[in-house]
């Protein structure tokens, strides 16, 4: 695959047509994802993080739809001569997605019970996925499933494979979901708040496990979270979203050390300090944007201390300010080193 991105999202727009108007959940989102990369998507609630990854995985249902843009996935699936080529997932029919999800794109959600069926043993669910996508015998699939359970740290996997989900702890269930997501060696792993519902100590273990497995499997991973400390731990590249738009996208160190978007600055200063007791995060003053029929202006404008006249007239484009560092702002913060890195240490 060389140096081609495995996924190239270009100007993605996803809308929901509601009786009261159109919810513009994702607007003009663009990024490349390479194998070995972990793209962290961070932003406040409702900023469009989940809708972005659901669009990639073909999980947008009516009244939602992809209103524009491309989701180019580099694969040999459907290619006539076996040579990999880009296919546009934004144009893929719903019925064809079952060949992509599970095999090429593994999904891990916040609540493991969204992915696991309580009526079947974890072995049945793993074996079904492996047989469906890999065309191997049930015996071979069971062997693979046991090996995967071992890899994700389930003790005595040859016995636990016959357990039902309710017989496992929350952390173990999430380990099983990770095993299922990895079972067909997917090129892309999507994790939407995968540790949020777990106890803090279990969160750290699951995060560590995901980081190790992603490196071992050499998948590209998209990791969604509200939690900047988690992003700092796992992401190699970070996309900061606000009000359906990407405000900034850059390598992780750049986001933490020299962010340029005023929104990224505001968000970073909401990080809880680990070194002092803090009851609450410092909130960003003002109200979050309403996504129903929003004006075509920067969504952070009403809360931005750096807004200029130009910001009240037009939407700034997402511009590359240095190699790999994109910012959507007419008046970015320059030459100011963030103090945040020191604060979260
Ligand atoms: N099925 C739906 N119907 C209508 N609007 C929706 C639907 N799903 C999402 N939205 C809207 O799309 C916008 C983006 O939602 P999204 O779930 O992507 O946010 P998010 O950044 O993932 O937030 P959170 O961190 O709370 O999960 C929100 O305004 C949300 O209300």
Domain map of the chain by residue range? Answer: 7-104+184-344
Q: Which residues of 272-294 are buried (b: 16+ CB within 10 A; e: fewer)?
A: beeeeeeeeeeebeeebbebeeb
Residue whose C-alpha is closest to residue 237's, from 8, 13, 34, 10: 34
Q: Which helix (H) or strand (E) holds 228?
A: helix 228-234
Across the chain, mean pLDDT equals 88
Is residue 14 a contact partner of residue 55, using CB atoms and an 8 Å limit? yes
The pLDDT score that the predictor gives to residue 78 is 66
DSSP structure class, residue 312: G
Measured in Å, residue 173 CA sits from the centre of ligand 1 at 25
Would you say the CB of residue 20 lies under 6 angstroms from ligand 1?
A: no
Q: What is the ipTM of this complex?
A: 0.97
Encode pLDDT of 140-163 as tens digits: 999 999 999 999 999 999 999 999
Write the residue with the smallest CA distance to atom 17 of ligand 1. Answer: 50
Instruction: Assign domain 7-104+184-344 one CATH number from 3.40.50.300, 3.40.309.10, 1.10.300.10, 3.30.70.100.
Output: 3.40.50.300
Report the atom number in ligand 1 closest to the C-alpha of 226.
25
Give the mean model confidence (pLDDT) for residues 216-222.
92
The conformation of residue 89, written as its DSSP 8-state character, comes to G
Is 195 in contact with 206 (CB distance < 8 Å)? Answer: yes
pLDDT above 60 for 2: no
Helix (H) or strand (E) holding 219: none
Q: What are the angstrom distances between the C-alpha of 240 and each of 7, 16, 24, 40, 193?
A: 18, 22, 17, 8, 15
Residue 43: closest CA among 33, 29, 57: 29
Other beta carbons within 10 Å of 1? 12
Pull the structure tokens for residue 184: 């067909």
- pLDDT, mean of residues 24-38: 95
For residues 40 and 234, give the distance between their C-alpha atoms in angstroms, rounded to a whole number: 8
Q: What is the pLDDT of residue 126?
A: 93
Ligand 1 pocket: which of 48, 54, 67, 247 to mutate (most atoms within 8 A of CB): 48
The string of DSSP codes covering 150-200 is HHTT-SSHHHHTT--GGGS-HHHHHHHHHHHHHTT--SEEEEESTTTTS-H
46-66: pLDDT as tens digits: 999 999 999 999 999 999 999
Residue 205 CA to residue 152 CA, distance in Å, equals 10
Strand partners, 249: 239, 326
Task: Give the three-class secondary structure for 249.
Answer: strand
Q: 85, 55, 64: which is closest to 73 by C-alpha?
A: 85
Q: Can you give the pLDDT at residue 270? A: 65
Is pLDDT at 340 greater than 80 in this prediction?
A: no
Q: What pLDDT, in 10s, does the model give residues 100-129?
A: 888 899 999 888 888 899 999 999 999 999
Instruction: For residue 130, report the distance from its CA to the centre of ligand 1, in Å.
Output: 31
* Dihedral sign for Cα atoms in the order 323, 327, 329, 335: negative
Residues 6+ apart with CB under 8 A from 266: 284, 300, 303
Tell me the best of 26, 27, 50, 191 to mutate to test the pocket of ligand 1, counting ligand atoms within 8 Å of each CB and taking the most.
Answer: 50
């Amino acid at each position: 695959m060389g140096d081609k991105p495995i996924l190239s999202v270009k100007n993605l727009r996803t809308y929901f047509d509601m009786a009261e108007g159109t919810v513009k959940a994702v607007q003009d989102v663009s990024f490349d994802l390479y194998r070995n990369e972990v793209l962290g998507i961070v932003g406040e609630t409702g900023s469009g993080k989940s809708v972005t990854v659901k669009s990639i995985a073909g999980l947008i249902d009516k009244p939602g739809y992809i209103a524009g843009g491309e989701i180019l996935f580099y694969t040999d699936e459907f290619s006539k001569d076996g040579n990999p080529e880009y296919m546009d997932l934004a144009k893929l029919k719903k019925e064809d997605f079952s060949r992509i999800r599970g095999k090429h794109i593994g999904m891990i959600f916040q609540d493991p019970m969204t992915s696991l069926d309580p009526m079947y043993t974890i072995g049945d669910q793993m074996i079904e996925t492996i047989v469906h996508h890999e065309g191997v015998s049930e015996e071979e699939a069971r062997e693979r499933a046991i090996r995967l359970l071992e890899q994700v740290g389930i003790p005595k996997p040859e016995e636990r494979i016959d357990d039902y989900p309710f017989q496992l702890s929350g952390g173990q269930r999430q380990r099983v979901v990770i095993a299922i997501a990895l079972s067909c060696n997917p090129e892309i792993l999507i994790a939407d708040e995968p540790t949020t519902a777990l106890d803090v100590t279990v969160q750290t273990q699951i995060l560590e496990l995901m980081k190790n497995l992603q490196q071992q499997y050499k998948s590209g991973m998209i990791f969604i979270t509200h939690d900047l400390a988690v992003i700092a731990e796992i992401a190699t590249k970070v996309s900061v979203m606000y009000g359906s738009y990407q405000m900034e996208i850059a390598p992780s160190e750049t986001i933490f050390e020299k962010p340029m978007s005023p929104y990224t600055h505001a968000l970073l200063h909401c990080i809880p300090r680990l070194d002092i007791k803090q009851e609450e995060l410092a909130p960003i003053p003002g109200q979050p944007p309403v996504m129903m029929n929003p004006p075509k202006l920067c969504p952070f404008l009403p809360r931005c201390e750096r807004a200029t006249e130009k910001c009240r007239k037009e939407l700034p484009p997402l511009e590359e300010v240095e190699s790999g560092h994109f910012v959507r702002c007419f008046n970015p913060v320059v030459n100011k080193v963030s103090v945040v890195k020191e604060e979260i240490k």
